[in-house]
Amino acid sequence: MKILIATGIYPPDIGGPAQYARNLYETWKNAKGADGKPLHRVKVAAYRWERAFPPGVRHLLYLLKVIRKGWDADLILVLDTWSAAMPAMHACNIMHKKYVIRTGGDFLWETYAERTGDLVRFKNFYGTRMEKFSRKEKLIFRLGGQALRKAKVVIFSTAWQKEIFEKAYGLDPRKSAIVENYCGERLEPTEPENRAFVAATRPLKWKNVELLKEAFEAARVKVKKAGLQDIELDTGKAVYDSFVEKIRHSYAVILASLGDISPNMIFDAIRAGTPFILTKETGIAERVKDCAVFVDPEDENEIADKITWLSEPGNRARQAELVRKFSWKHSWREIADEIVAVWEKF
């Protein structure tokens, strides 16, 4: 097949969609048939120099890039619901081609939360805040929804987001599929080199970092009263490979956002054998329930209590053992094959 991956970001950009695009590209590019010849020819259309232009112009330039790179494509895979999806929809209309959208997060919810500071949970967003949308947000909702509905199929990573989007955007469930996120081979487990809880994430309001910091300070007081060694909160970012190594050598990972659909950081913690505290507002709750410590992201006391509990070395050791017993894996080869199978089925 001739495949075009349309994505808003791509390495050296940092972020889940960038890693997803790169790994799919490399997996498809390196796939060989029985005769040893490449199975696919793969291209990527990502925003680069187009970012220097204002909205509208940059989207038009990206549309032209999708046409140029995707004119002979058999499969056009779009890895977001707005920046790449909206221009790709129009480009495919011009080329008379079908496309697939694989959702990541939710650009509209993130945009709304940043603009207003209204920390609404993702699951409640569409049912309670649509009347408060700005003109820009109404446009994103209308055109983004159009891109979703016109797709040959929409691939979600979790049933949680699938159900929310189908209701909000009026999507046909018969044109939806689920391909779960990546969870790779396990790394060599190691004992923590520090007492750091890794919480590195993008500086976005829905990530709930300010409340987490307050809860963490309350937990430090409790840890001290319990006679335990002090703990620290690590919010520093790093490039992907070194970030995974940081997780591997840390005490724990913590993610207390208001809605993380399929967080890569948690699957990286599982790969590394590192215990983690995870928001209940996530699409992977059922998948990781046997090894997760869950928290209500709006309950500061509960977050502080769970941090304190995990700060006890015995509790940390028991959680690390549960994480290491978690056996589910999902390789990039499986993901790539599942996407092709979905394309062929629909």
Query: For residue 220, how many other CB atoms are within 10 A of its CB?
Result: 19
Residue 12 pLDDT: 84
Strand 75-78 and strand 252-255: the pairing is: unpaired
Best CATH choice for the domain 2-182+330-345 from the list 3.40.50.450, 3.30.70.1070, 3.40.50.2000, 3.40.250.10:
3.40.50.2000
- pLDDT digits 0-9 by tens, 28-82: 999 998 888 999 999 999 999 999 999 999 999 999 999 999 999 999 999 999 9
Rounded-to-integer distance, Cα 49 and Cα 37, Å: 34
Scan for tokens 């056996």, then name that residue.
327
132 DSSP assignment = G
Strand pairing report for 196-198 and 176-178: unpaired
Spatial neighbors of 133 by CB under 8 A, at least 6 apart, are 112, 141
Measured between alpha carbons, how far is 100 from 294 in angstroms, rounded to an integer? Answer: 33
What residues pair up with 44 in beta bridges, in sequence order? 5
pTM of the model as a whole: 0.93
Q: Give the CATH architecture of domain 196-325.
A: 3-Layer(aba) Sandwich (3.40)
Tokens linked to 224: 């001290």
**2-182+330-345 and 196-325 in the same fold:** yes
Where are the chain's structural domains?
A: 2-182+330-345, 196-325
pLDDT digits (tens, 9 = 90+) for 170-218: 999 999 999 999 999 999 888 998 999 999 877 889 999 999 999 999 9
pLDDT at 239: 64
Using 50, 70 and 90 to split pLDDT, how confident is the model at 238? low
Say yes or no to pLDDT of 237 above 80: no
- Which residue is it, tokens 């300010």? 210
Summary mean pLDDT of the chain:
94
Output the CA torsion 277→280→283→288 (10° steps): 50
Q: How many CA atoms lie within 13 A of 135 on its CB side?
A: 0
Q: 185: buried, middle or exposed (CB in 10 Å: 19+, 13-18, 0-12)?
A: exposed
DSSP 55-84: TTHHHHHHHHHHHHHHTT-SEEEE-SSSTT
| pLDDT value of position 166 | 97
How far is 161 from 101, CA to CA, in rounded Å?
14
